[in-house]
């Protein structure tokens, strides 16, 4: 039985289990690698879903103005008034744990970030010359928003969405750590950290390596977002 077997460089470790084993004798490295798929999938799904909703809502609010802008802006203000993690915990408590419910709970509020960004950019672009020219020739509003405004605001949206993906991954790990996220036997970095709490003094590698995996992925995403910002900003290229 390889229960709580240490990493290979410690006494009792084996090369077949480089990072050791967990409390049930399962290979920790394999579970961390499998857990990366869960974190990346949830982060990508939430960001794509939330960004799509945020772009549509932001374009409508910024271009149409009036009561549409008032309703969307007040809804955004209400959602921003709630702490993100507590909001997600409340939704998960109502819907129950599960992969689909995590995506819905995190995307339920995540869309407000791209929405505010798109709304601000749209307010600035709706008065520029090429938008006024399209409006003067009778182009419908949906055409102006989709063909004239949207292509010119995608760069900051992509950069912000990439940064937010790291935040979503941390939130997913937090929910799994609390036991209301991804459920066993599916491996999740948050649940792996939680599994190692009871053995932190004797089997520190369970929580430590899982935490390092979260740190490495979030750092990589932040570095990638910085690279995207440098690539999209012509002032930085100069």
The domain ranges of the chain are 36-233
- Of 45-49, 55-59, 221-225, the least confident: 221-225
In this predicted model, what pLDDT tens digit does every residue of 140-154 receive, in sequence order?
A: 888 888 888 888 888
Among 139, 166, 141, residue whose Cα is nearest residue 56: 141
Local confidence band at 235 (pLDDT 50, 70, 90 cut-offs): low
Q: Using the predicted structure, report yes or no on whether residue 219 has a pLDDT greater than 80.
A: yes
Please state, in angstroms and rounded to a whole number, the distance separating the CA atoms of residues 182 and 208. Answer: 19
- Provide the whole-model pTM: 0.86
Q: 86: how many CB neighbours lie within 10 A of its CB?
A: 9
Q: What is the DSSP letter of 200?
A: T
2-17 pLDDT, tens digit per residue, is 777 778 777 777 888 8
Q: Which of 25-34, 49-58, 206-215 has the highest mean pLDDT?
A: 49-58
User: Does the pLDDT value for residue 51 go beyond 90?
Assistant: yes
Q: What is the CATH topology of the domain spanning 36-233?
A: MetI-like fold (1.10.3720)
Rg (CA), the chain: 22
* pLDDT mean across residues, the chain: 85
pLDDT of 237 strictly over 60: no
Percent of the chain with pLDDT over 90: 21
CA distances from residue 70 to 57, 74, 125, 127, 153 in whole angstroms, order as listed: 12, 6, 19, 19, 22
């Amino acid at each position: 039985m390889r229960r709580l077997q240490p990493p290979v460089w410690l006494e009792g470790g084996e090369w077949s289990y480089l990072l050791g084993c967990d409390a049930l004798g399962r290979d920790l490295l394999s579970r961390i690698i499998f857990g990366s798929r869960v974190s990346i999938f949830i982060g990508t799904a939430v960001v794509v879903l939330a960004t799509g909703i945020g772009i549509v809502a932001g374009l409508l609010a910024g271009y149409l103005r009036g009561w549409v802008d008032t309703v969307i802006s007040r809804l955004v203000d209400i959602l921003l008034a709630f702490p993100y993690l507590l909001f997600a915990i409340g939704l998960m408590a109502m819907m129950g744990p599960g992969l689909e419910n995590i995506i819905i709970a995190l995307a339920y509020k995540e869309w407000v970030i791209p929405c505010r960004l798109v709304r601000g950019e749209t307010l600035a672009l709706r008065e520029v010359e090429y938008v006024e020219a399209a409006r003067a020739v009778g182009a419908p509003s949906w055409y102006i928003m989709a063909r004239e405004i949207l292509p010119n605001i995608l760069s900051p949206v992509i950069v912000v969405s990439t940064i937010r993906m790291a935040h979503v991954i941390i939130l997913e790990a937090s929910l799994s750590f609390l036991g209301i996220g991804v459920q066993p036997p599916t491996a999740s970095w948050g649940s792996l950290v939680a599994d190692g709490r009871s053995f932190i003094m004797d089997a520190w590698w369970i929580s430590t390596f899982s935490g390092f995996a979260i740190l490495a992925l979030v750092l990589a995403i932040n570095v990638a977002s910085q690279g995207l910002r440098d690539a999209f900003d012509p002032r930085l290229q100069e």
